């Protein structure tokens, strides 16, 4: 029945749109009832066609000059376009035609807020709240929350939404926005208090249980959060967000079997989900079930061919299995999709090293260092990679560039000393080691002991003793 009514409404609206747009295109006059102007306006306004909405409502106001609802809509579209003076004039017209209309108060409050007169807007809303019905109060508290959000007064946002929930305990927008404000303020205990009040009246209020769980997470009370989420799932086993969040918490507590069971329950009740596939794959890697992990990484990729995390996870599984050739393709794909992720690039470099493809490994690490020019750890990694590849002179040359940039970094000096000593340049090694001692003598033993011949050299052995 509802579907037929809705289809009928849509066909009527389509008929009105066609009639209006045809007449307008031909320059013909067309008479429309106030209700038809309202329906057409709502269509154009909701689809963002403000030019049509303005043109239409201007015609409507001329055709029906005493229709306050049309004057009000004229004001609304002008507000949307930021034409505040004209919007105020049409609000005055609307108020003269239908005084005490709640929407006029709400629009005036918006107008004041847009003029940065937030306190006046708040006073206007509070004045109307004194005489408002229950239904009106709900809209007014939403407006109040909007205004306080605009000036980032989130404590007051929480207070407004708390008041609204006393009238409408299951107001979805209020519950969602309340949690957003709680996150920004860290008022987790207050959130628990508010939602516990809702539960005292309705123990089966799943949104209240869910928000309590999130508050406990904010307070790092993970077990209490899980307990609250279990209440949500007892009320509604199909609450996907609760199942996934609860499973994520089990992962954090390293209870992987329970996490896996919950992730699978989400898949059983719903269509395939890339995020759940990815979580399952990650969880299977944590229990060292590489085969199952690969299955779910691949399923995630089949739904989302640009999911860098899934490609990376699959590559890591193959690398762990020592399938070095096979791991290159997914790891390279992950790097291409997200070049800013250091872990991806470092893991790919390790894969190249396993295949002794030093040229590619060095080239990749040079690109990483270029993108992270202040990262001294990566700079040292490049020097060590040169040495692993048998390119000791390249390592020395690179370290000299590093020393120019960071002359007080002891590790660069000591590494330079060790590599010079390796090539038989003892005097150069002595100079570099002495510079390293001036920077941080505590680092000397780490480097000198890494080269046995150098550690046996009396001069360097003496450095260690000092």
Instruction: Provide the pLDDT for residue 7.
Output: 44
CATH of the domain at 229: 1.25.40.10
Domain membership flag for residue 391: no
pLDDT at 352 over 80: yes
Q: Residue 130 and residue 124: Cα distance in Å, rounded?
A: 10
Higher pLDDT, 280 or 30: 280
Q: Residue 16 and residue 345: Cα distance in Å, rounded?
A: 59
Instruction: Provide the pLDDT for residue 8.
Output: 45
**What is the phi-psi region of residue 424: left when phi exceeds 0, alpha when psi lies from -120 to 50, beta otherwise?**
left
pLDDT at 5 over 80: no
pLDDT, tens digit, for every residue of 38-80? 999 999 999 999 998 999 999 999 999 999 999 999 999 999 9
Which range of 32-41, 49-58, 261-270, 323-332 scores highest in mean pLDDT? It is 323-332
Domain membership flag for residue 453: yes
3-state secondary structure of 151: coil
Closest CA to 170 of 144, 138, 215: 138
Average pLDDT over residues 337-360: 95
Domain final residue, candidates 258, 281, 314? 258
Instruction: Provide the pLDDT for residue 107.
Output: 97
Domain membership flag for residue 195: yes
Q: Containing domain of residue 250, as a range?
A: 186-258
Instruction: Provide the pLDDT for residue 466.
Output: 64
Domain membership flag for residue 334: no
Domain membership flag for residue 241: yes
User: How many domains in the chain?
Assistant: 2
Average pLDDT over residues 316-336: 97
Domain final residue, candidates 243, 258, 273? 258
Average pLDDT, the chain: 93
Domain membership flag for residue 112: no
Residue 443 is classified by DSSP as G
Domain final residue, candidates 258, 288, 310? 258
Domain membership flag for residue 379: no
Domain membership flag for residue 425: yes
Confidence band of 406 (pLDDT split at 50, 70, 90): very high
């Amino acid at each position: 029945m509802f579907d037929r009514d809705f289809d009928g409404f849509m066909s009527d609206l389509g008929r009105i749109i066609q009639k209006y747009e045809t007449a307008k295109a031909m320059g013909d006059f067309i008479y429309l009832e106030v209700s038809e102007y309202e329906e057409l306006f709502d269509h154009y306004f909701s689809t963002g066609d403000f030019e049509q909405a303005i043109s239409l409502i201007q015609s409507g106001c001329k055709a029906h000059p005493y229709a306050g609802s049309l004057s009000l809509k004229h004001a609304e579209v002008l507000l949307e376009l930021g034409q505040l003076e004209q919007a105020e004039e049409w609000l005055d017209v609307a108020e003269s035609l239908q005084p005490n209309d709640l929407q006029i108060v709400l629009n005036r409050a918006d107008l004041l807020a847009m003029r940065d007169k937030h306190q006046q807007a708040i006073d206007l809303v509070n004045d109307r709240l004194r005489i408002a019905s229950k239904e009106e109060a709900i809209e007014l508290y939403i407006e109040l929350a909007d205004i306080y959000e605009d000036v980032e007064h989130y404590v007051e946002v929480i207070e407004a939404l708390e008041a609204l929930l006393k009238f409408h305990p299951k107001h979805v927008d209020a519950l969602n926005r309340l949690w957003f404000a709680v996150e920004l303020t860290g008022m987790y205990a207050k959130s628990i208090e508010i939602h516990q009040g809702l539960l005292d009246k309705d123990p089966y209020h799943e949104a209240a249980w869910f928000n309590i769980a999130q508050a406990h997470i904010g307070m790092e009370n993970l077990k209490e959060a899980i307990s609250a989420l279990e209440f949500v799932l007892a009320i509604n086993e199909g609450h996907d967000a609760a199942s996934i969040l609860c499973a994520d918490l089990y992962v954090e507590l390293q209870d992987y079997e329970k996490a896996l069971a919950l992730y699978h329950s989400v898949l059983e009740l719903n269509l395939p989900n890339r995020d759940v596939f990815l979580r399952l794959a990650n969880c299977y890697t944590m229990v060292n079930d590489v085969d199952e992990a690969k299955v779910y990484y691949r399923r995630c990729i089949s739904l989302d061919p640009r999911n860098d995390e899934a490609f990376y996870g699959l590559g890591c599984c193959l690398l762990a299995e020592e399938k070095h050739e096979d791991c290159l393709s997914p790891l390279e794909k992950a790097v291409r999709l997200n070049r800013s992720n250091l872990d991806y690039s470092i893991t790919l470099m390790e894969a190249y090293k396993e295949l002794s493809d030093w040229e590619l490994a060095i080239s990749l690490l040079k690109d990483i260092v270029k993108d992270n020019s202040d990262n001294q750890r990566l700079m040292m990694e490049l020097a060590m990679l040169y040495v692993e590849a048998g390119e000791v002179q390249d390592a020395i040359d690179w370290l000299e560039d590093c020393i120019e940039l960071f002359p007080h970094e002891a590790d660069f000096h000591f590494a330079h000393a060790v590599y010079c000593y390796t090539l038989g340049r003892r005097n150069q090694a002595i100079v570099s080691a002495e510079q390293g001692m001036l920077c941080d003598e505590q680092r000397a033993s780490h480097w000198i002991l890494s080269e046995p011949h150098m550690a046996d050299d009396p001069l360097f052995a003496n450095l260690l003793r000092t």
